[in-house]
Amino acid sequence: MITLGDYLIVSGILFAIGFAGVMLRRNLIIILMSLELMLNAANLSLVAFSRFRVGPTGLPDYNAQVFVFFIITVAAAEVAVGLAVLVALYRARKTTDVNDISNLRF
């Protein structure tokens, strides 16, 4: 049978993959995608805990799912703002490589 730990392990590995993407990749778009992977890994463990904690009504704990809903909404807003910053940066510097964007002011 599938235990709670299996879902948590998948979530942990996915988070580590996203973290490795942020650490290793130098392309800003890929870094944003890796951030999304990490947010989704957190969502997976939240939903797993929600299903694990069955309330007195015989239903999953919906507080965690509301939390996931908020995370998805905020993540969508974050992606939009992040990509707008990326476009503004690309207009100014013609690059999305973080190695070339090491100055605080230009």
Partner 1 sequence: MSPFLFWIFALLTLIFGAAVVINRNPVGSALSLVMSFLGLAALFMSLNAYFIGIIQVLVYAGAVMVLFLFIIMLLDLRAEGAHRINWLTSAAGLAVALILLGQILSVIGHLKIAHTTFPTLPATTIDDVRNVGAALFTNYNLPFQIVGVLVLVATIGVVLLSKREPR
Q: Is there binding between residue 34 and partner 1 (CB under 8 A)?
A: yes
Q: Is there binding between residue 98 and partner 1 (CB under 8 A)?
A: no
Least gap, CB of 104 to partner 1 (angstroms)? 18
Q: With contact defined as beta carbons under 8 Å apart, do 38 and 18 qualify?
A: yes
Of the candidates 69, 93, 98, 100, which one interacts with partner 1 according to CB under 8 A?
A: 69
15 to each of 24, 28, 80, 90, how far by Cα in Å? 14, 18, 21, 28
In the bound state with partner 1, the residue whose beta carbon lies nearer, of 58 and 103, is 58
Ranges within 43-62 binding partner 1 (CB under 8 A) = 43-44, 47-48, 50-52, 54, 57-60, 62
Of the candidates 35, 76, 101, 104, which one interacts with partner 1 according to CB under 8 A?
A: 76
How many Å apart are CA 105 and CA 101, to the nearest integer?
A: 10
Q: Is there binding between residue 23 and partner 1 (CB under 8 A)?
A: yes
Which residue type sits at 80? A
Classified as helix, coil or strand, 97 is strand
Q: Is there binding between residue 10 and partner 1 (CB under 8 A)?
A: yes
Give me 3's structure tokens. 């235990």
